[in-house]
Amino acid sequence: RVLRSVTMRSGPKKGAAAITTVPAKASVQVMSCKQWCEIVYNGKHGWVYKSYVKTGA
């Protein structure tokens, strides 16, 4: 789940192109998580910063 509304990006960096906005409390599939989490949301593949993601919820 994401904790609050967050921009999903095309790559694991702040300047990467925005793909979509994931709304607060949305369920996402987490592929991997280091400083950035690789996620799938609504069939779209992208990255969000780890502090916005709560795993195991």
- Where in the chain are the domains? 6-52
Position 9 pLDDT exceeds 90? yes
H helix count then E strand count, the chain: 0, 5
Position 56 pLDDT exceeds 80? no
pLDDT band at 24 (very low <50, low <70, confident <90, very high): very high
- The answer to whether residues 49 and 30 touch, using CB atoms and an 8 Å cutoff, is no
Between CA 53 and CA 4 the distance in angstroms is: 9
Position 55 pLDDT exceeds 80? no
What integer best gives the mean pLDDT of the chain? Answer: 93
Q: Return left, alpha or beta for 19; rule: phi > 0 is left, psi -120 to 50 is alpha, else beta.
A: alpha
Position 57 pLDDT exceeds 70? no
DSSP 8-state symbol, 16 = S
Q: Quick one: average pLDDT of 10-36? A: 95
Level-2 CATH architecture, domain 6-52 = Roll (2.30)
